[in-house]
Amino acid sequence: MDDADLFHEATRFSGGRFDASRWPPWPGRLLEMGRKLLGSLVSACPGMPSVHLDLIDDSEVNACAFRHCNRFFIGVNVGTITALMLLYHRMLADRRCLAQIGNVHREVSDLRLVTRLTAKSVEMVPAMPHDQIRVEYANHLICLAFLFILRHEFVHVAHGHIGLLEKRFGVQRLAEFGSGSEPGLSPLDRQTLEWDADSIAVSNFVGWFHQIVADPSAVPPNLRHFVAELTEALYPLMFAIHSLFRLFGDSSLLGVDQSAIHHPPERVRRAIIGATTATYFLKKDAELGKAVGPVAAQAGLVDTELAFQALTGQTPDFPGLREVFCGEAGMNYLSRLSENWKSNLRDQLQPFAYIDLPE
Ligand SMILES: [Zn+2]
């Protein structure tokens, strides 16, 4: 059996392997890009076995990392790709969303409001931007969100999350939602794994853009305008990641018992993205960070919320978001996760990791 057969065997109860050759060139190319990215991530970890990426024929939004027959796999549900396409095409088809992109006057402002928008159920009337630049921008956002998910899943493998779970609980699969997403770990440990995967995924993605802006030779010529300048490159990245989490929900931290839930709330995950990006630039180039910070806040906090307001008609809770992003509530939550990493999980994971884990 080859990796595709093994993947199908391991996922057959949740839909099995989806044959992406049934898709048109776009979004079929996403899988090709994802495999290329994974190949480069694996090759940067000496001694790490290859990781096979494929799609699962399941209409819900989900992704997972798992081991099967001693091989590593990452599976992304077809429903995730569908949701990303619906979301970003719908946004860019609306002249109130990202009005600075392309010719917004070619778009409309009376699209039907989205009434159900969760990871379980993305129900919206499909819409496609009229302006070609906005179509391409929507596709770029889909691509960035998809590659962020892959980077996140890759950390679950490379940082030994799967290895530790297998050793301790006999579980070989870590899913983002639903059964298999809480494989026996304490809620705080489970959240810390997500914190680790989010932090490293965004830090490495930002680092990749930092490099590629200086030397864009690895980017196809038709996409180089997205990496002409660092702030221009990071704006869609921050917008894509924040809106991906925003799709999963936006509940306040009030009344949340951190020691009882298995995943950090979406606002906390967005605070992780903001804090990690800020830390990256503090370490690498503090001056550059001063230019990047406002762009990240505009894309991730303000413009993401305004786009969701256009989609749903609901007013953004900016004070509540700021309290989590830059107030005490968010800081305390994140400190508990990073403390748990330092004092507990890091040392347990290191024997199963393929790189030297960060302190
Ligand atoms: Zn995860």
The predicted-structure confidence for 309-349, as pLDDT tens digits, reads as follows 999 999 999 999 999 998 998 999 999 999 999 999 999 99
Cα of 69 to ligand 1 centre, how many Å?
22
Cα of 196 to ligand 1 centre, how many Å?
9
Cα of 29 to ligand 1 centre, how many Å?
24
The pLDDT assigned to 121 comes to 67
Residue 293 tokens, joined? 């910070």
Q: How many residues appear in the chain?
A: 359
> Looking at 124-226, which runs of residues are DSSP E strands?
173-175
Cα of 56 to ligand 1 centre, how many Å?
16
The pLDDT assigned to 122 comes to 67
Q: Are 41 and 158 in contact (CB under 8 A)?
A: yes
Distance separating alpha carbons of residues 341 and 348, to the nearest angstrom: 10
Cα of 181 to ligand 1 centre, how many Å?
8
Cα of 85 to ligand 1 centre, how many Å?
21
The predicted-structure confidence for 75-115, as pLDDT tens digits, reads as follows 999 999 999 999 999 999 999 999 999 999 999 998 888 87
The predicted-structure confidence for 159-185, as pLDDT tens digits, reads as follows 999 999 999 988 889 999 876 666 778
Cα of 156 to ligand 1 centre, how many Å?
7
* The total number of structural domains that make up the chain: 1
The predicted-structure confidence for 25-62, as pLDDT tens digits, reads as follows 878 899 999 999 999 999 999 999 999 999 999 988 99
Cα of 76 to ligand 1 centre, how many Å?
12
The pLDDT assigned to 93 comes to 97
* 359 lies in some domain: no
* 358 lies in some domain: no
* 357 lies in some domain: no
pTM assigned to the model: 0.96
Average pLDDT, rounded, for the chain: 92
Residue 175, domain extent: 3-352
